[in-house]
Amino acid sequence: MNRYPMFSPQLLVSFVAVCETMSFTRAADRVSLSQSTVSQQVRRLEELLGKALFERTSHEVRLTEEGIKLLSYARRIIALNEEAHDALTGPWRDGVLRLGMPEDFTVPTVDLLAAFKREHPHLRLDVTSGLSPDLHRAYRQEELDLVLVKQRRVHLPRAARPEPLLWLDSQEHPAIEQSPVPLAVFPVNGLYREELCGTLDSLGIRWRVGYSGGGLAALAAASAAGLGVSLLPASCRLPAHRVLGTAERLPPIDDFELALFYRDSASAIALGLAGRLIDFCGLNP
Protein backbone atom coordinates (compact mmCIF):
# COMPACT_ATOMS: atom_id res chain seq x y z
CA MET A 1 0.00 0.00 0.00
CA ASN A 2 1.20 3.54 -0.78
CA ARG A 3 1.69 5.76 2.25
CA TYR A 4 0.49 8.79 0.30
CA PRO A 5 -2.30 9.43 -2.22
CA MET A 6 -1.03 9.37 -5.81
CA PHE A 7 -1.10 12.56 -7.88
CA SER A 8 -2.97 12.16 -11.14
CA PRO A 9 -0.92 13.63 -14.01
CA GLN A 10 -4.11 14.95 -15.60
CA LEU A 11 -4.95 16.93 -12.45
CA LEU A 12 -1.41 18.30 -12.40
CA VAL A 13 -1.58 19.30 -16.09
CA SER A 14 -4.71 21.39 -15.39
CA PHE A 15 -3.12 22.85 -12.25
CA VAL A 16 0.03 23.91 -14.16
CA ALA A 17 -2.09 25.41 -16.94
CA VAL A 18 -3.93 27.60 -14.40
CA CYS A 19 -0.59 28.59 -12.81
CA GLU A 20 0.91 29.62 -16.14
CA THR A 21 -2.14 31.51 -17.44
CA MET A 22 -3.46 32.78 -14.10
CA SER A 23 -6.90 32.16 -15.51
CA PHE A 24 -9.24 29.16 -15.34
CA THR A 25 -10.74 30.17 -18.69
CA ARG A 26 -7.42 30.37 -20.54
CA ALA A 27 -6.22 27.20 -18.79
CA ALA A 28 -9.31 25.35 -20.01
CA ASP A 29 -8.53 26.40 -23.59
CA ARG A 30 -4.95 25.24 -23.24
CA VAL A 31 -5.84 21.73 -22.01
CA SER A 32 -8.95 21.41 -24.20
CA LEU A 33 -11.34 20.97 -21.28
CA SER A 34 -14.28 22.99 -20.02
CA GLN A 35 -13.70 25.62 -17.38
CA SER A 36 -15.89 23.73 -14.92
CA THR A 37 -13.81 20.56 -15.42
CA VAL A 38 -10.57 22.41 -14.78
CA SER A 39 -12.07 23.95 -11.64
CA GLN A 40 -13.18 20.52 -10.45
CA GLN A 41 -9.71 19.07 -11.04
CA VAL A 42 -8.05 21.85 -9.04
CA ARG A 43 -10.55 21.32 -6.22
CA ARG A 44 -9.75 17.61 -6.22
CA LEU A 45 -6.06 18.45 -5.79
CA GLU A 46 -6.87 20.80 -2.94
CA GLU A 47 -9.01 18.12 -1.26
CA LEU A 48 -6.22 15.59 -1.75
CA LEU A 49 -3.71 17.88 -0.02
CA GLY A 50 -6.11 19.50 2.43
CA LYS A 51 -4.71 22.90 1.43
CA ALA A 52 -5.79 25.77 -0.82
CA LEU A 53 -3.63 26.14 -3.89
CA PHE A 54 -5.09 29.42 -5.22
CA GLU A 55 -6.51 32.60 -3.79
CA ARG A 56 -9.48 33.48 -5.98
CA THR A 57 -11.19 36.82 -6.34
CA SER A 58 -13.63 38.08 -8.93
CA HIS A 59 -10.73 39.76 -10.77
CA GLU A 60 -7.67 37.52 -10.36
CA VAL A 61 -6.19 34.17 -9.40
CA ARG A 62 -3.05 33.99 -7.26
CA LEU A 63 -1.02 31.06 -6.03
CA THR A 64 -0.86 30.37 -2.31
CA GLU A 65 2.42 29.41 -0.70
CA GLU A 66 1.38 25.74 -0.95
CA GLY A 67 0.49 26.27 -4.60
CA ILE A 68 3.95 27.66 -5.31
CA LYS A 69 5.52 24.59 -3.67
CA LEU A 70 3.35 22.17 -5.65
CA LEU A 71 4.05 23.90 -9.00
CA SER A 72 7.70 22.84 -9.03
CA TYR A 73 6.84 19.24 -8.22
CA ALA A 74 3.96 19.17 -10.69
CA ARG A 75 6.20 20.25 -13.56
CA ARG A 76 8.75 17.60 -12.66
CA ILE A 77 6.13 14.85 -12.40
CA ILE A 78 4.63 15.81 -15.78
CA ALA A 79 8.09 15.90 -17.41
CA LEU A 80 9.00 12.51 -15.94
CA ASN A 81 5.72 11.04 -17.16
CA GLU A 82 6.44 12.33 -20.69
CA GLU A 83 10.01 11.03 -20.52
CA ALA A 84 8.80 7.55 -19.52
CA HIS A 85 6.28 7.54 -22.35
CA ASP A 86 8.89 8.60 -24.91
CA ALA A 87 11.39 6.04 -23.63
CA LEU A 88 8.91 3.23 -24.20
CA THR A 89 6.99 4.34 -27.27
CA GLY A 90 8.51 7.43 -28.82
CA PRO A 91 12.16 7.66 -29.87
CA TRP A 92 12.50 4.02 -30.97
CA ARG A 93 9.11 3.53 -32.58
CA ASP A 94 10.83 1.95 -35.58
CA GLY A 95 12.19 -0.71 -33.23
CA VAL A 96 15.69 -2.06 -32.60
CA LEU A 97 18.00 -3.49 -35.25
CA ARG A 98 20.76 -5.75 -33.90
CA LEU A 99 23.83 -5.91 -36.12
CA GLY A 100 26.91 -8.07 -35.60
CA MET A 101 30.22 -7.63 -37.43
CA PRO A 102 33.92 -8.46 -37.06
CA GLU A 103 36.04 -6.02 -35.10
CA ASP A 104 37.95 -4.81 -38.16
CA PHE A 105 34.73 -3.61 -39.79
CA THR A 106 33.45 -1.47 -36.92
CA VAL A 107 35.55 1.60 -37.71
CA PRO A 108 35.34 1.48 -41.54
CA THR A 109 31.52 1.24 -41.40
CA VAL A 110 30.97 4.10 -38.94
CA ASP A 111 30.11 6.67 -41.63
CA LEU A 112 27.77 4.21 -43.37
CA LEU A 113 25.93 3.46 -40.13
CA ALA A 114 25.76 7.15 -39.18
CA ALA A 115 24.19 8.04 -42.53
CA PHE A 116 21.71 5.16 -42.20
CA LYS A 117 20.78 6.27 -38.67
CA ARG A 118 20.13 9.83 -39.85
CA GLU A 119 17.63 8.43 -42.33
CA HIS A 120 15.94 6.43 -39.55
CA PRO A 121 16.12 8.65 -36.44
CA HIS A 122 13.52 6.56 -34.60
CA LEU A 123 15.49 3.33 -35.00
CA ARG A 124 17.81 2.08 -32.27
CA LEU A 125 20.88 0.45 -33.81
CA ASP A 126 22.65 -2.05 -31.54
CA VAL A 127 26.05 -3.06 -32.94
CA THR A 128 28.02 -6.01 -31.57
CA SER A 129 31.60 -6.70 -32.63
CA GLY A 130 33.50 -9.89 -31.95
CA LEU A 131 34.86 -13.11 -33.36
CA SER A 132 32.91 -14.47 -36.30
CA PRO A 133 32.08 -17.85 -34.68
CA ASP A 134 30.57 -16.01 -31.70
CA LEU A 135 28.58 -13.71 -33.97
CA HIS A 136 27.26 -16.62 -36.03
CA ARG A 137 26.25 -18.45 -32.85
CA ALA A 138 24.38 -15.37 -31.60
CA TYR A 139 22.62 -15.11 -34.97
CA ARG A 140 21.50 -18.75 -34.84
CA GLN A 141 20.15 -18.13 -31.34
CA GLU A 142 18.22 -15.12 -32.72
CA GLU A 143 20.16 -12.65 -30.58
CA LEU A 144 21.20 -10.74 -33.73
CA ASP A 145 19.12 -9.74 -36.76
CA LEU A 146 21.89 -9.13 -39.28
CA VAL A 147 25.47 -10.43 -39.21
CA LEU A 148 28.57 -9.87 -41.28
CA VAL A 149 31.00 -12.73 -40.60
CA LYS A 150 34.14 -14.36 -41.92
CA GLN A 151 33.70 -18.07 -42.53
CA ARG A 152 34.72 -21.09 -44.53
CA ARG A 153 32.30 -21.74 -47.37
CA VAL A 154 29.97 -23.93 -45.32
CA HIS A 155 26.84 -21.99 -44.39
CA LEU A 156 24.91 -20.48 -47.30
CA PRO A 157 24.78 -16.68 -46.85
CA ARG A 158 22.60 -14.04 -48.49
CA ALA A 159 25.66 -12.39 -50.01
CA ALA A 160 29.41 -13.01 -49.90
CA ARG A 161 32.80 -12.37 -51.45
CA PRO A 162 36.11 -14.26 -51.19
CA GLU A 163 38.31 -13.32 -48.22
CA PRO A 164 41.94 -13.99 -49.25
CA LEU A 165 44.24 -15.00 -46.42
CA LEU A 166 47.99 -14.54 -46.10
CA TRP A 167 50.66 -16.29 -44.05
CA LEU A 168 52.29 -13.34 -42.28
CA ASP A 169 55.59 -13.09 -40.45
CA SER A 170 58.00 -10.34 -39.43
CA GLN A 171 60.52 -9.04 -41.94
CA GLU A 172 62.98 -7.99 -39.24
CA HIS A 173 62.46 -10.82 -36.74
CA PRO A 174 61.17 -13.82 -38.72
CA ALA A 175 59.46 -16.40 -36.52
CA ILE A 176 59.40 -19.04 -39.28
CA GLU A 177 63.14 -19.59 -38.77
CA GLN A 178 62.67 -20.67 -35.16
CA SER A 179 62.01 -24.21 -33.95
CA PRO A 180 59.38 -24.81 -32.83
CA VAL A 181 57.75 -22.04 -34.86
CA PRO A 182 55.95 -19.51 -32.60
CA LEU A 183 52.43 -18.61 -33.71
CA ALA A 184 50.32 -15.48 -33.23
CA VAL A 185 46.75 -16.80 -33.11
CA PHE A 186 43.23 -16.20 -31.89
CA PRO A 187 42.16 -17.99 -28.69
CA VAL A 188 40.99 -21.62 -28.88
CA ASN A 189 38.14 -22.01 -31.43
CA GLY A 190 39.00 -18.61 -32.91
CA LEU A 191 38.91 -17.95 -36.63
CA TYR A 192 41.87 -19.20 -38.74
CA ARG A 193 43.52 -20.94 -35.74
CA GLU A 194 42.44 -24.44 -36.74
CA GLU A 195 43.57 -23.89 -40.34
CA LEU A 196 46.94 -22.53 -39.26
CA CYS A 197 47.73 -25.25 -36.71
CA GLY A 198 46.27 -28.05 -38.83
CA THR A 199 48.34 -27.05 -41.86
CA LEU A 200 51.57 -26.98 -39.87
CA ASP A 201 50.73 -30.38 -38.34
CA SER A 202 50.11 -31.85 -41.80
CA LEU A 203 53.51 -30.55 -42.94
CA GLY A 204 55.28 -31.94 -39.88
CA ILE A 205 56.33 -28.46 -38.74
CA ARG A 206 56.65 -28.18 -34.95
CA TRP A 207 54.97 -25.12 -33.47
CA ARG A 208 54.04 -23.42 -30.21
CA VAL A 209 51.69 -20.56 -29.38
CA GLY A 210 53.83 -17.46 -28.99
CA TYR A 211 51.00 -14.95 -28.77
CA SER A 212 47.23 -15.31 -28.35
CA GLY A 213 44.87 -12.38 -28.74
CA GLY A 214 41.29 -11.58 -29.62
CA GLY A 215 41.66 -8.77 -32.15
CA LEU A 216 42.83 -8.72 -35.76
CA ALA A 217 44.75 -5.48 -35.29
CA ALA A 218 46.59 -6.92 -32.29
CA LEU A 219 47.45 -10.16 -34.08
CA ALA A 220 48.69 -8.28 -37.14
CA ALA A 221 50.92 -6.08 -34.99
CA ALA A 222 52.17 -9.08 -33.02
CA SER A 223 53.21 -11.03 -36.11
CA ALA A 224 54.84 -7.95 -37.68
CA ALA A 225 56.86 -7.48 -34.48
CA GLY A 226 58.13 -11.08 -34.53
CA LEU A 227 55.90 -12.68 -31.90
CA GLY A 228 54.72 -15.39 -34.25
CA VAL A 229 53.58 -16.51 -37.68
CA SER A 230 49.93 -15.71 -38.29
CA LEU A 231 47.23 -16.50 -40.85
CA LEU A 232 45.16 -13.37 -41.44
CA PRO A 233 43.09 -11.58 -44.10
CA ALA A 234 45.19 -9.86 -46.74
CA SER A 235 43.75 -6.53 -45.57
CA CYS A 236 45.68 -6.94 -42.30
CA ARG A 237 49.09 -6.93 -43.98
CA LEU A 238 51.42 -4.24 -42.59
CA PRO A 239 54.60 -2.79 -44.14
CA ALA A 240 56.69 -4.67 -41.54
CA HIS A 241 55.22 -8.01 -42.59
CA ARG A 242 56.90 -10.70 -44.62
CA VAL A 243 54.47 -12.82 -46.64
CA LEU A 244 55.20 -16.55 -46.48
CA GLY A 245 54.19 -19.11 -49.07
CA THR A 246 55.45 -21.96 -51.21
CA ALA A 247 59.09 -21.24 -50.35
CA GLU A 248 58.22 -22.13 -46.74
CA ARG A 249 55.99 -25.06 -47.90
CA LEU A 250 52.87 -23.15 -46.82
CA PRO A 251 49.89 -23.64 -49.15
CA PRO A 252 47.36 -20.94 -50.12
CA ILE A 253 44.19 -20.87 -48.00
CA ASP A 254 41.45 -19.78 -50.39
CA ASP A 255 38.16 -21.18 -49.07
CA PHE A 256 37.22 -18.33 -46.72
CA GLU A 257 34.67 -15.64 -47.44
CA LEU A 258 33.11 -12.51 -45.98
CA ALA A 259 29.41 -13.36 -45.67
CA LEU A 260 26.20 -11.53 -44.79
CA PHE A 261 23.25 -13.28 -43.13
CA TYR A 262 19.70 -12.12 -42.47
CA ARG A 263 16.35 -13.91 -42.17
CA ASP A 264 13.44 -14.25 -44.58
CA SER A 265 11.37 -12.33 -42.03
CA ALA A 266 13.78 -9.35 -41.98
CA SER A 267 12.09 -5.94 -41.76
CA ALA A 268 12.25 -3.39 -44.56
CA ILE A 269 14.73 -1.37 -42.47
CA ALA A 270 16.96 -4.43 -41.97
CA LEU A 271 16.87 -5.13 -45.70
CA GLY A 272 17.82 -1.52 -46.36
CA LEU A 273 20.89 -1.78 -44.13
CA ALA A 274 21.77 -5.14 -45.69
CA GLY A 275 21.79 -3.48 -49.10
CA ARG A 276 24.14 -0.76 -47.87
CA LEU A 277 26.53 -3.36 -46.42
CA ILE A 278 26.46 -5.41 -49.63
CA ASP A 279 27.47 -2.35 -51.64
CA PHE A 280 30.07 -1.16 -49.13
CA CYS A 281 31.77 -4.56 -48.78
CA GLY A 282 31.50 -5.51 -52.45
CA LEU A 283 29.49 -8.64 -51.71
CA ASN A 284 27.81 -10.76 -54.38
CA PRO A 285 24.14 -11.56 -53.60
Instruction: Say what the pLDDT of residue 2 is.
Output: 55
Same domain, 119 and 189: no
Same domain, 154 and 267: yes
Same domain, 183 and 230: yes
Which run of H or of E encompasses 98? Answer: strand 96-102
Same domain, 248 and 268: no
- CATH number, position 195: 3.40.190.10
Counted domains in the chain: 3
Cβ-proximal residues to 97 (8 Å cutoff; 6+ apart), any chain: 123, 124, 125, 126, 145, 146, 267, 269, 270, 273
Which run of H or of E encompasses 27? Answer: helix 24-31
Residue 4 within any structural domain of the chain: no
Instruction: Say what the pLDDT of residue 99 is.
Output: 96
Which run of H or of E encompasses 275? Answer: helix 268-281
Cβ-proximal residues to 141 (8 Å cutoff; 6+ apart), any chain: none
CA atoms of 285 and 277, how far apart (whole Å): 11
Instruction: Say what the pLDDT of residue 90 is.
Output: 58
pLDDT, averaged in runs of 10, over the chain (285 residues): 76 93 92 93 93 87 92 91 73 77 89 93 87 89 94 86 95 95 89 91 96 87 97 93 95 92 93 96 92
Instruction: Say what the pLDDT of residue 179 is.
Output: 92
- CATH number, position 53: 1.10.10.10
Same domain, 139 and 209: no
Instruction: Say what the pLDDT of residue 5 is.
Output: 77
pTM of the model: 0.62
CA atoms of 164 and 137, how far apart (whole Å): 23
Same domain, 274 and 207: no
CA atoms of 136 and 191, how far apart (whole Å): 12
Instruction: Say what the pLDDT of residue 157 is.
Output: 92
Do the Cβ atoms of 42 and 30 come closer than 8 Å?
no
CA atoms of 35 and 41, how far apart (whole Å): 10
Same domain, 154 and 262: yes
How far CA 157 is from CA of 26, 259, 266, in Å, comes to 63, 6, 14
Name the residue range of residue 266's domain.
91-161+257-281
Same domain, 179 and 249: yes
